[in-house]
Structure 1
Amino acid sequence: MCAIAADPSKRVEPVPRTLTSMGNDFVRFFYAPLLLVGINGAGIALVAAGASRLWLLGLLAAAVVASFTAERLLPYRPEWNEAAGDGGRDAAHAVVNETLILGSVTAIPLLAAVVTVADVWPLGWPIVVQVLFAILVADAGITLVHFASHKVGVLWRFHAVHHSVRRFYGFNGLMKHPLHQSVELTAGVAPLLAIGLPVDVAAALALAVAVQLLLQHSNADYRVGPLRAVLALNEGHRFHHLKWAGAGDVNFGLFTLFWDRLLGTYAFDPGRRFTSEDIGMADKPHYPDGYLAQLVEPFRARGACAADPAAGNRAEQAEA
């Protein structure tokens, strides 16, 4: 059969890509690297150059702006971008907890003088390698305390604040009871202090923790390919926020999923989709929403985690 030449007058022009589609592609494939490599890399470069650590606040602000922008350009669930009476509370948690994290960096010299057991920090390593080493060590301590917080009642009382969320977006990562956050950070940083953690490395680590929490709870529908099986990001962390007893006892890692694989708590199903009906705490549907109320709740009788949901409901009714 002879080929028929195309009529040049009827040539189909390619459809130009819109700014929206290009923005979606950027978020899907480059948002996570922007924060993981760009923001963290800038922080490491600044501390290595001896710049004021106040610059870290600027980088943190840039990360927050990027987080909210990405969530609106390419949301996993559009409704999770809408405040449900929780915007002010979440902002309060974020400001208080980030102030504590960044403020604790200034106390490193004093803490090191008390806690250092052997000043063997590898100062000869490149600064990037030092920060990565600090991240891996901190990841172990924070992950193990997180795991224990789902098993030990007194820890769960405070950790429950974090699991009371009814939507899943960036600021959820910073929504923690300050006492529980302090326990987690102590477990992560104490081993580093014991071997002489430098202040500059601690500052870069503090920024990395904040960036990771934004990414881990992000409502942006970004992709990291095979790295989702290694890094503790939002695709896997949504499983941790399943509201049913036992179902959310998975994927505890902050930075990596290494410890979850070792503990046998890694879980992932690429076909699973989540809605607001899937997250929160099934046995505590009426957990307080206000910031101050959430600070007080762990100290109340009903703040315990009841093995029997009916018992938990009775405790709530008794205090109502």
Structure 2
Amino acid sequence: MRTLVRYGYVPYMLIGINGIGMAIVATGEPTLWMLGLLLLAIASSFLAERVLPYRDDWNTPHEDGGRDVAHATVNELFTLSSLAIVPILTALTPFDHLWPGDWPFVLQVLLAVLVADLGITLVHLASHKVPILWRLHAVHHSVKRAYGFNGLMKHPLHQTLETAVGFAPLILLGLPISVAYAVALCAAVQLLLQHSNVDYRVGPLRGVLALNQAHRFHHLKWAGIGDVNFGLFTLLWDRLLGTYSFDPQRQFSSQDLGMAAKPHYPGRYLAQLAEPFRASGACVSDQSKDRHRADASVSARQLRPEQNQAP
């Protein structure tokens, strides 16, 4: 069973779950079916994490179980419901004829994934550089363990921004609603895989797909050190932007995750929704920045010999 999960879990999620989703949207009534498929993906994530965990202690709640359920429920229901406005928006665009609607459906989805991935990657990168965006994105970086479900843990305003930028060019081109539903499912599945506590293997694809082995580097708690591997679906844009980093020997624990500058970030759901709008949700003071830059410099010297290795 462990071997099956190690090598079969990712194909099952990427090809199996997403493939079933693409078949469902062809029926024309995907909403409830897609929600059920998302619940199956979440259940599969929890099962795989218990069969083959990367770290056993990451399967134990860190007083975050109820909070993460709230984040995931709100965010995913909002995403599914917001897709209803896609046909309205595409009807307003003068460029709808540019969408390659005669392509095979799978290729249309892959094209949409690559385009959305660029927009989401750029928003993600900006969220580590622009203070007002970091206030919102910091919610996601407060996690102290990496498991599939906290991939769905985001401030709803930040998720809305990422989704809007990722989908905007697609909508301008006349994105069909069926493709939009498929991409939304692919994004949810990808977040489960990207933050997964499963010790799976994907071979050379670990340097192409934005999966957990590379994404753990993004959650390193030191400012600057974690500013890598921003992609949601792929690492292609990170390679072009020079933000790709990977070390096959690096191991991770809860001591490496979170935010060194804000180790006591609020842990409850409502408090996390409010924190970006409080004075305490701002970036750290210049004195604190200097101290944490020094911490990051030490960490960088420890990591530099191994970072940016080819997979």
Structure 1 and Structure 2 fold alike (TM over 0.5): yes
Classify 1:81/1:41 alpha carbon distance in 2 versus 1 (closer, same or farther; 3 Å): same
Equivalent position to 1:234, from 212, 225, 230: 212
* Runs of 4 or more above 4 Å deviation: none
Matched with 1:163 is 141
Task: Show CA shifts across 1:9-61 (max 9, x none).
Answer: xxxxxxxxxxxxxx111110000000000000011111124343321111101
One-letter code of the match for 1:157? R
Matched with 1:151 is 129
One-letter code of the match for 1:228? R
User: Are 1:33 and 2:11 an aligned pair?
Assistant: yes
Percent identical among aligned pairs is 65
Residue 112 of structure 1, CA deviation: 1.9
- SS of the residue aligned with 1:95? helix
One-letter code of the match for 2:85? A
Matched with 2:270 is 292
Residue 308 of structure 1, CA deviation: 3.7
User: Are 1:191 and 2:172 an aligned pair?
Assistant: no
In structure 1, distance between residues paired with 2:101 and 2:289: 54
- Aligned ranges for residues 1-320 of structure 1 at < 5 Å? 23-115=1-93, 117-306=95-284, 308=286, 310=288
In structure 2, distance between residues paired with 1:233 and 1:130: 22
Residue 73 of structure 1, CA deviation: 0.4
- SS of the residue aligned with 1:193? helix
Task: Show CA shifts across 1:206-256 (max 9, x none).
Answer: 100000000000001111000000000000000000000101000000000
In structure 1, distance between residues paired with 2:26 and 2:100: 15
Task: Show CA shifts across 1:124-166 (max 9, x none).
Answer: 0011111111101000000010001000011000000000001
Task: Show CA shifts across 1:174-218 (max 9, x none).
Answer: 110000000000010000000101111000011000000000000
Classify 1:144/1:307 alpha carbon distance in 2 versus 1 (closer, same or farther; 3 Å): farther
Tell whether the 8 Å contact from 2:117 to 2:231 is kept in structure 1 after alignment.
yes
In structure 2, distance between residues paired with 1:116 and 1:209: 27
Classify 1:307/1:149 alpha carbon distance in 2 versus 1 (closer, same or farther; 3 Å): farther
Classify 1:309/1:174 alpha carbon distance in 2 versus 1 (closer, same or farther; 3 Å): farther
Tell whether the 8 Å contact from 1:165 to 1:279 is kept in structure 2 after alignment.
yes
Q: How many residues are paired up?
A: 291
Tell whether the 8 Å contact from 2:144 to 2:257 is kept in structure 1 after alignment.
yes
Point out where structure 1 has 5 or more consecutive residues left out of the alignment.
1-22, 314-320
Residue 309 of structure 1, CA deviation: 6.2
Deviates more, 1:109-118 or 1:139-148: 109-118
Classify 1:51/1:265 alpha carbon distance in 2 versus 1 (closer, same or farther; 3 Å): same
Tell whether the 8 Å contact from 1:230 to 1:257 is kept in structure 2 after alignment.
yes
Residue 100 of structure 1, CA deviation: 1.2
Point out where structure 2 has 5 or more consecutive residues left out of the alignment.
292-311
Q: Give the structure-2-normalised TM-score.
A: 0.91
One-letter code of the match for 1:295? L
Tell whether the 8 Å contact from 2:135 to 2:283 is kept in structure 1 after alignment.
yes
In structure 2, distance between residues paired with 1:152 and 1:80: 30
Query: Between Structure 1 and Structure 2, whose CA radius of gyration is higher?
Result: 1
